[in-house]
Each structure stands twice: as C-alpha cells, then as structure tokens.
A and B are shown apart, each in its own frame.
Chain A
C-alpha cells in the first residue's frame, strides 16, 4: 500500500479547513470527513478530494484493525469515490474481503489483480495468498494472474508438498524446493518443509529464520510445541487454540485418557490449584501405576483437607490413625506444634487400643512429639514415656541424661538413668564416659577405673579414658605412699607408665616414682628423680615448687625436704605462660575436692612469688580472670584479694569489684554487711548494663546466700537505714569501716563475735541498742541520728554489744567506736 497524502499542503486561514486539519491530526476521521465534505461541497477543490480519500481509507483501516471488515469495506466504497488511484491500496481491500469471507467478492477482487501487483507491488498479500492456497483455500489460485511468477512458485511449492505427502519422494521434493528462489513469496514455506525433513532437531534451528509476522510462523510454532513432552507440553499447549492443541495431542498419539487429561489441564492452565491437581489424580488415576494416585491424594490431604470427601468416595476410607497422623503433619506444616501434639497423642491412643504390637510405633511418635515440645521438662517426660514402649534407644537415654545434667537435677535419678542406659547399651562409649564423670563426682575412684577400662577395651585409643586411668593409677600410688603401704606402689606406677601417653606423662610417672623412692627406698635417689622429673615438666621454679609441694603433701612426705633440691621461687617473676601453667596446676589438683586444703598449703609456698609477679607484671585481664576463678575455686582468698585489688585499679570491669568484696568476706556471704550488699546490688546493675552475665550470676548467687541467712524482718530496718545513705554513687571501691576497726581481733574470736552480731542484728532495734550500750535514754539521740547517717555505725555498735554479751575483750569501748565514726562520745558508756 503506497497511498500518501499531504495533509499540510492546503493549509490556509479558512477556519473550517483548520478545524478539519485538527480533527485529522487527532485521528478523528469521522469528524474530519464531515468537515472535508462541507469544504468539498463549497468548492470542489482537488485538495479536499484527496483529504477525503485519505480520511476514508484511514477510517476503514481502523475498523479492519478491530476485525470490523464489513464496516471497513463500506468505507472502502467511499474511499474509491475520492481516491485518484484507489488501486494503490487494493491489497488492503483483498485482505478485508478474505476476512469478510465473501467468496464472490474475493474472486472478483483477485481477478482484478495485475501481474505486477501480485509479483512486485503487494508482496505481503502474495505471501498471505500463497499460504492460504496451500493450507485450505486452493480455489483462490485460479483467479490470480496465471502468468505471474507467484503462480509459478506456487506450483513448485505444491509439487514439493505433494512429493512430501506422496511417500516422501525426496528427489522430487528437493528438486521442487531448489527451484524456489531465495526471495520468493514461498521462501518461508521452503524453509519449513526443509526443517520438517529433519524433525525434531532442525525445528529449534529455524525458529529465528521465520519471522513471527510470517503466516508460516504458526506452523513452525506448532511443530516446535510438538517436540515438548509431559508437563512442559501441557504448558505450551495453553498458548494455542483448542483445535490446534487437539491436533498436536493427536499427532503425539496420546490415548483417550491422556488427551482428556491434557484438555483438563489446558482448561485450568492459569490456576493449577490443589483442587485441580487432586481432581486430575482422581479422574485420571488409571494413567499412573496402581495405588500412586491414592498415595498422592492421601499426602495432598495434608494441605488440601477439602479433598477428604472425594478421597473417601474414590479410595479406601482413611483409618482413624491415618486421619490423625495427616492432621498432625498438617499442623506441623503450619508450625502449630500444640495442635500437632494433640493429634499425635490421639494416634498413640489409637495404637494402644489396637490388637497389634504397636510399641515401636508409639515410642517413635512420642519421640517425635518430644522434638515438637518447647518445654524441656515435658520434652524429657515424653522421652521417658517412649522408653516404656521401646527401651532400646540410646538417643533417648542420652537425651534424658543430658536433661538431668544440664538442669542440675536429682543426681540419684541421673545415676539411675545412666545405669539403665548402660544396662541396655553396655558398649556405648558415650554412656561409659558419662559414668566415668559421674563416679568422679561421687569420688568412687574404683568405679571410675572400671568404666575407664571398659572404654579402653572398646576403644584402645580413647584419650579420655587413658587420662582418667593414668590419674587413677598415680592417685592410687600416692595414696599407698601416704599410707606407707609400699607393697603395690610400683605396680600402679608401672600401670600408669604402660598407658604410654607421652613424655610429659612419663615425667609425672617419674615424679611419683621419685616420691616412692624417697619414702621407701633411697632418699637421695628419690630426690634426684623428683628434681629430674620436675625439670622435665616445668621451666620455672614457681611451677616446680608448687607441684613438688603438692606432691609431697599428697604423699604425706616432708615438704621442706622435698623442696631442698629445688631452686627457690620467692623472687621469681612469672611470664604469662608460666602463670597460665600455675592456673592449670591449680585446676588439675583442685579437681579432687579432698585435695583443696593441701593445695592451699602448697600454694602458700609460692604465694609470695605470685603476689610479686602480679604486682610487677602487667598480665592480660583475661589471664587474671582465669587465675581468680581458680583461686576462688580453692578458697585462696588472700591471693584473690591481692589480685582483685590490683585489677580493680587497672580495669573498670565489675568482676573485680565483686571479687574484691568476695575475697574480703572470705567467700562468706553471711558475713556481708548491709553496705556490702548495697554495693553488690549496684555492681550487679552494672553487670547487667555491661551484659556481663557471668558476673551477674555470681553476684546473684552470693546475694541469695546472704539472704538465706538473714531473714527479711531482721534486715528490714538496717536496710532501710542503709537505703537512706545510698545516695553515694561513687565508683570507688568500698572499704568496710568495721573491718578496719576490728582488724586487731584474733580471727577465731572475731568469728564468734560476728556470729553473735548476726543474731543481735535480727532482734535489736537501733534505739534498744543505743539504750543498752549507753544506759542513758535521754542523751542518745545524736547517736541515733549518726546511725541514720552512717549505718556502719549500727553494725559496729552491734559488734561491741555482741562482744560484751560473749564476755570477749575486744579492747574497744563504745566511745572508741563513736570516736572512729566522729560521733560525740557519751558519758557513762560501757
């Protein structure tokens, strides 16, 4: 189509023309036509004629674009009245006639086509006509100019197609196709037919060779679709008309059921819901192996419960057990574990009433329920319950034991479960290891060795068991030396040696052997062995001295004599690594609770060196915390206090403030003054702010111990007094003034006085106290006021009253105390 009009050429000042032009530009052709008609009636100017023709054609085209071909053709008749060369758009007319399907008019139109038009001018129409003639409108052929190239090429295409259809006559087919030139109207047809020869490989290759706008593209697209299989084919078929989809299904030789399934799925292609899937499985179940559709439908009921009714109709009804099981799984999928647990419980009940051995099923369900349970106690109960049905489940025992251990619950019950577990799983290294640990806690060392030996019999390389046995043998040897029962000492030492744990362990063996020689054989040989072995273990005198002293104490040998041959440790400054070794030694020996007092004695031997080192070296805070933990464990309060005092000056970490108070009180919470409790409360807050959970817990435990020994009523008054003084927000380390005041009192006397003070504290009001001490009820108001201002004065005066009550001379009078607190003294005071 080559019609082109100049819409601007006749532009003048005429307002009608202006309006027409505006409508034309806005593509309002109907309005433009009316205006141009008026202009044409006014003056039969050629330019109005041209504009009218243009508008009619455009309006006709816009109708055709909306498939309103009959309307388009009416407008065509108007168009040709004004068009100078209507034949230029004749291809449009033919196309519209084809779509309008008026055969007579199509024939008439085709007959009017010239050779030039079909071969040169209307190439797109020629392609369409060619395709139509080849695909179902052969009658068009005879109306097209027979002498045209179009007809010549059409005949070649028809010959090729016929050759293909007639037993695939390759020679004739190829000859015909070869004669169709590259620029022919039938080029796409030739490409398509060539590709069909090499189906399916070539189809993908020619997808880009035929334009999507070509009438042959749809054939290519259908051929391509037919390559797909299964679900992908169904997806592809959704793009085509029902009849086209059916043709493809037929080509692929699907059976009736398969074709119906395809049709069903294509019908719901935009929303393959659970319902559609479920129904497809039921309706076309014969397409799957027996039972598959039923199994899948059953599984689908979990998220498609609406299917229950249809399921019952088409398959076997679900058992009550299965129904609850599916509901339970559905609830789990919705993360509703409470609901799931209820359904699982119903499953258990159903199984319990069945006349079948369902014990294992029940046990497994109970264990599964335990995994859904957030409450660890209920979870543990389920595990315990499960063992009633299946006692042979190692994981359940492990779970239960872990629960008891983690929650620090009844040890007897823990041991009971451990023994039960071992009864069922005597070869479980994990349970045996737990048994070893438990018997160490119970200090049943014989049993420890027995379990450790069992582990080694199962796993000869088990390091844990070997370590335990090693310690056990040497402990036995030491005990025998201590008891001066030397008969079997060497046997135990050799047993330890035979475990062959490495050089450092051999040095330990040598050390105990040295102790044995010293005790029972040759003292000098013994000392030499001790010195030699310690030199292998340690490189510094502090660690050497500590271990030598400890080993001597453990074997009841004279410490001073054993230390004779060892370098003095007093002035030695420990490196970080050596201090770490000290910590390790403390931890190692502290494992046995019975050794703690001996360890304190041994530590005394090296305490000056440690104190010195702490004062002079800048150790890392974490190392000092580790040291403090070890010192706390063995009640080495003096060293702990020293460490805390130094640390508190260097770091603002709350743990040091806690350790300072803790060590000052020698770990006795009951001795805590109210001021110290207040102080602890404050640092507890700081620990919370610092997110220092460990220190917070330590303080909590300490405060709890304090309150366990002080009833609320007795401390209420004192606490209220202290509360008045709690405005002191100073971060300085609190020093208890009473400690300063009474530090000269011997410790044994002070303990008695303090115990009595605690008693009095609970039963004495400040007024009573002052009255008792001063015997002057009229003149003690200033003391009460002073007590209000400084609660430590109350504590100090209570101590005086306690000492008087016990008849202990603490060499302090009430006036000494008042003087200490800068309070005006009283006459006649005791």
Chain B
C-alpha cells in the first residue's frame, strides 16, 4: 500500500515516463480494472491519467496539486506488519497476566459489594 497515491503511483509509472508510456500504463490498468468491477478504482485510474497524460497536465499537477494525505493511512503504512492469523499460548498468557490490574479487581469488588 502506498500512502501518497500520486497519479504516477496509481498508474505504476515513473515521473519521467513519456506520454506514450503513461497511455500504455493507463490502458493496461483500465483493462485490468473495468468500471463495473470497482467503480471507485476505475475513477481513480482515469483521474490519474487525466492528471498526467501530457506535459502540460503534468506541470499543472506538479504546480497546483498538493498531496492529500490521510494521516490514518500514513499510520497504517508505518505500522504495517504481517497480519497475525493466530496467537501463541505465551502471548495469550502475557495478555492474561497483563489484564489483571487494580481496575480489574476494583470492578470485581464492586460486583461483590452489590
């Protein structure tokens, strides 16, 4: 996952790519992501192409577009790890041990009082 989804990254081309290379990449992306499969993705591919399709568009993009960053996405990327599909017994025990603190006992005592 890339945080700043620049049009170049969306189309998978280098910023130095030629008009022809960009068009090729766009057509290939469109072929793999038809609008009926994922409308939003298709739209983002199309918008990316419009933004950088020729030199004028690219300069326009560089001059007037600032990355629209979702900080949560940034954090997602920074904390990216291999997803866990299980928990070890030791990890479970660590959490079990860590879970009982004053507040746990207090909560339990309030039950006793009732």
Instruction: Using CB atoms and an 8 Å cutoff, list the residues of chain A in contact with chain B.
Output: 1, 61, 64-65, 67, 91-92, 95-96, 98-99, 122, 124-125, 127-128, 131-132, 134-136, 161, 164-165, 168, 192-193, 196, 199-200, 213-216, 218-219, 221-223, 226, 229-234, 241, 243-244, 247-248, 250-254, 258, 261-262, 265, 272, 277, 281, 284, 287-289, 292, 295-296, 299-300, 302, 325-326, 329, 360-361, 364-365, 368
Contacts and interface: CB of A to CB of B under 8 A. Distances in A.
Q: Which 5 A-B pairs have the closest CB atoms?
A: A230-B76, A231-B72, A287-B78, A218-B99, A219-B99
Given A215-B104, A253-B81, A288-B77, A1 B112 contact: yes
Given A223-B87, A241-B101, A299-B66, A64 B79 contact: no
Say whether chain A's binding surface is mostly helix, strand, loop, or mixed.
helix
Given A135-B97, A300-B69, 8 more contacts: A64-B109, A92-B109, A213-B110, A214-B108, A223-B95, A229-B76, A229-B81, A231-B71
Contacts of A265: 75
B84 A295 contact: no
B3 interface: yes
B55 interface: yes
Interface string B82-112: 0111110111111111111111111111111
A161 B93 contact: yes
7 contacts: A132-B100, A214-B108, A218-B101, A222-B99, A247-B98, A292-B3, A325-B63
B28 to A, nearest CB: 23
A269 to B, nearest CB: 12
B31 interface: no
B48 to A, nearest CB: 17
A66 to B, nearest CB: 11
A189 to B, nearest CB: 9
Given A136-B97, A136-B100, A124 B111 contact: yes
Contacts of B91: 251
B104 A295 contact: no
B58 to A, nearest CB: 10
B96 A215 contact: no
Contact of B71 (A222, A241, A248, A277): A277
A135 B100 contact: yes
Contact of A230 (B80, B99, B102): B80
A258 B79 contact: yes
Contacts of B60: 364
Interface string B48-79: 00000001100110011011010111111111
B95 A296 contact: no
A226 B59 contact: no
Nearest to B68: A299
A364 B63 contact: yes
A168 B89 contact: yes
B106 A99 contact: yes
B113 interface: yes
Given A64-B109, A365-B63, A296 B98 contact: no
Given A295-B4, A296-B67, A364-B60, A233 B94 contact: no
Contacts of B105: 95, 98-99, 128, 132, 215
A134 B96 contact: yes
Contact of A65 (B55, B80, B113): B113
Nearest to B62: A361
A258 B78 contact: yes
B87 A230 contact: no
Contacts of B96: 134-135, 192, 219
A775 to B, nearest CB: 83
B76 A128 contact: no
B77 to A, nearest CB: 6
A128 B108 contact: yes
A250 B97 CA distance: 14
B64 to A, nearest CB: 6
A325 B65 CA distance: 10
Given A135-B96, A361-B63, A231 B112 contact: no
A325 B83 CA distance: 41
Contacts of B2: 289
Considering residues A127, A230, A281, A302, which has the most beta carbons from chain B within 10 angstroms of its beta carbon?
A230
Nearest to A281: B74
Nearest to A166: B89
Nearest to A296: B69
A360 to B, nearest CB: 6
B84 A226 contact: yes
A200 B85 contact: yes
B66 A61 contact: no
B56 A360 contact: yes
Considering residues A61, A92, A254, A287, which has the most beta carbons from chain B within 10 angstroms of its beta carbon?
A287
A288 B108 contact: no
Contact of B83 (A218, A229, A364): A229
Contacts of A168: 89
Contacts of A234: 75, 79
Contacts of B111: 124, 128, 213
A320 to B, nearest CB: 15
B88 to A, nearest CB: 8
Nearest to A392: B56
Contacts of B109: 64, 92, 95-96, 99, 128
A364 B54 CA distance: 14
B95 A329 contact: no
A59 B3 CA distance: 58
Contacts of A223: 87, 92, 95
B71 to A, nearest CB: 5
Nearest to B76: A230
B14 to A, nearest CB: 14
B112 A95 contact: yes
A164 to B, nearest CB: 4
A218 B100 contact: yes
A215 B99 CA distance: 9
Contact of A199 (B79, B86, B98, B100): B86
Contact of A226 (B85, B87, B102): B87
B108 to A, nearest CB: 4
B79 A368 contact: no
A622 B53 CA distance: 50
B74 A364 contact: no
Considering residues B63, B81, B86, B94, which has the most beta carbons from chain A within 10 angstroms of its beta carbon?
B63
